[in-house]
Amino acid sequence: MKNYWHSVVLEKDYCNGCTHCLDRCPTQAIRIINGKAQIIQDRCIDCGECLRVCPYHAKGALVSTLEILKTFKYTVALPAISFYGQFPEEYDMNRVYNALLELGFDEVYDTAHAAELLSVYENAVLDKENLNKPLISTYCPVITRLIQIKYPTLIDNIIKLEAPMEIAARHVRRRLIKEGHKDEEIGIIYITPCPAKVTSIKDPIGIDKSNIDEAVSTEEIYYKIMKIIDKVEPKHQLQRATGKGIGWARVGGQSYAMELEDYIAVDGIDEVIKVLESMELGKLVSLDFFEGYACVNGCVGGPLNVENTFIGKNRVRKLTKKYGMDQPIVIDIELTPENLEWNTPILPMPIFKLDTDFKKALEKMAKIEEYTQMLPGINCGACGAPNCRVLAEDIVNGYAKIEDCMLLNKR
């Protein structure tokens, strides 16, 4: 099975084994061993939940800093669409984008514009016949990873389209090369709201290689912009998206841009998991589209953003109105499968499967039940597993022993 690169990392020296992350991880990827958290790499989907809840800042995201600009001859900023929700309302987004030039970027491309172009294409895809409905959005890479490892039967429902950041990056790179820039001298830098997007740049799903070179966090850029913004002259028109593209920053924005009727848009990883479970049972086939986000309110809730997710959501709502849902969209990227669709298959990574041999899997299942009955069932986490059931699974899989249960040991 393929080993994924991960943006979410653990700083062991800061960890004091408090178990906050243990309880929060949606894929039970964390164990506490010898008083320190450890991440089981195969299970981690880079959702960043552990990063949010760690009181000791022992979890971090691998991102670049603005210093990275020095390593390229020509640099392009691709701000995440949720960037729209970060700045106080008195700062017009065009001024914010012009501030990025002051920080050293040579060019800024409005990723929200790529999103609205993608909405046009997505609509055409949804009109095709014989699709596995509902189609599942790939915008939040956490959800795609989750499906790969936990709900592989839903892989055929995934709409195999690139994210707006990739569409934008490919378009810009091609243009710059045509204009005479050398490929290796171009640095396309994504300003990211979350570690998951960094992972999808470094180790993409559906394409062989990302056209984005590096990612810096929204947080880092935000504070640098706020220091200079009052002096920035908005000399260039860099803000290009209409309300349709900007709305992608919040839950439901994608379906709204497509003017869909039969869709559900769900935010927060726990709620998404409930929906995927229903979908696996075939309960949602009457829907056309499912938009799921690991973060509350969608990407405005990303863990590397600055603004409170609800304030960000409200700002995006207002900006969607300001820039208009009925404005014409300038189609300046050819809307073809070559430009917008994934070109490599998504493979299942069923790491929760007990065994490839059905008989052995049943035997293991029976043993897990047996150990679960033996354990106290109070889910204290003192053994280092998130709950008694997971400890039972770990014992059967050979990663733990029954003696790891402190309470049983005391009896």
Provide the binding-site residues for ligand SF4, judged by CB under 6 A: 8, 24-25, 27, 29-30, 39, 44-50, 140, 142, 193-194, 196-197, 293-295, 298-299, 302
Q: Choose between 139 and 371: whose C-beta lies nearer to ligand SF4.
A: 139
Residues in the chain: 411
Q: Choose between 98 and 218: whose C-beta lies nearer to ligand SF4.
A: 218
Q: What is the DSSP letter of 75?
A: E
Q: Choose between 49 and 394: whose C-beta lies nearer to ligand SF4.
A: 49
Residue 137 Cβ vs ligand SF4, minimum distance, rounded to whole Å: 10
Q: Are 187 and 216 in contact (CB under 8 A)?
A: no
Residue 161 Cβ vs ligand SF4, minimum distance, rounded to whole Å: 14
Q: Choose between 80 and 232: whose C-beta lies nearer to ligand SF4.
A: 80
Distance of CA 150 to the CA centre of its chain: 16
Q: Choose between 94 and 305: whose C-beta lies nearer to ligand SF4.
A: 305
Residue written as token pair 């004091």: 16
Residue 300 Cβ vs ligand SF4, minimum distance, rounded to whole Å: 8
Q: Are 50 and 14 in contact (CB under 8 A)?
A: no
Residue 294 Cβ vs ligand SF4, minimum distance, rounded to whole Å: 4
At 10, list the tokens: 């653990």
CA pair distance 207, 137, nearest whole angstrom: 16
CA pair distance 234, 266, nearest whole angstrom: 36
Output 253-259 pairs: Cβ under 8 A, ≥24 positions apart: 253/298, 253/316, 253/320, 254/115, 254/119, 254/122, 254/137, 254/139, 254/291, 255/289, 255/291, 256/325, 257/115, 257/116, 257/119, 257/325, 258/119, 258/122, 258/123, 258/126, 258/289, 259/123
The three-class DSSP label of residue 268 is: coil
Q: Choose between 140 and 229: whose C-beta lies nearer to ligand SF4.
A: 140
Residue 25 Cβ vs ligand SF4, minimum distance, rounded to whole Å: 3
Q: Are 6 and 198 in contact (CB under 8 A)?
A: no
CA pair distance 117, 334, nearest whole angstrom: 9
Listed in sequence order, the residues at least 6 apart from 231 whose beta carbon sits closer than 8 Å to its beta carbon are none
- Phi and psi at 208, nearest 5°, equal -75, -40
Q: Choose between 46 and 166: whose C-beta lies nearer to ligand SF4.
A: 46
The three-class DSSP label of residue 238 is: coil
Q: Choose between 176 and 400: whose C-beta lies nearer to ligand SF4.
A: 400
Q: Choose between 9 and 402: whose C-beta lies nearer to ligand SF4.
A: 9
Residue 142 Cβ vs ligand SF4, minimum distance, rounded to whole Å: 5
Residue 49 Cβ vs ligand SF4, minimum distance, rounded to whole Å: 4
Residue 130 Cβ vs ligand SF4, minimum distance, rounded to whole Å: 29
Q: Burial, 147: exposed, middle or buried (Cβ in 10 Å; 0-12, 13-18, 19+)?
A: buried
CA pair distance 70, 380, nearest whole angstrom: 49
Residue 175 Cβ vs ligand SF4, minimum distance, rounded to whole Å: 26
Residue written as token pair 């929700």: 85
